[in-house]
Structure 1
């Protein structure tokens, strides 16, 4: 199965990657919370993502394995 990315040239794929990274950097910069001057936006984005996952799936409430019966 081909994806639409396979039809792009290497220059187009690189431009798409840079655009995606720029958008992610903007999202990290605009995220709520204190932002330190000169803070690495990729590190901030990773920290915010880790925090969001922890809030969604806290370690104190692990997913319970269950078996689906029919």
Structure 2
């Protein structure tokens, strides 16, 4: 699940700490917990030309489509 201030998945939960935006790219920093660990997560999000959300972190990219 992704909301404006929170993301969560199967074994993690993250709360938004900071966000900035420049030239259509959102830079997000999250404070996360999961699998008995506490960590920070830095993401870059942008809308791709096909309307998908492109997420980049640590040299990896993920492509998300909207669910109705």
Whose RCO is larger (CA < 8 A, sep 6+)? 1
Structure 1 or 2: larger helix share? 1
Fold similarity call, TM over 0.5: no
TM-score by length of 1: 0.19
Structure 1 or 2: larger strand share? 2
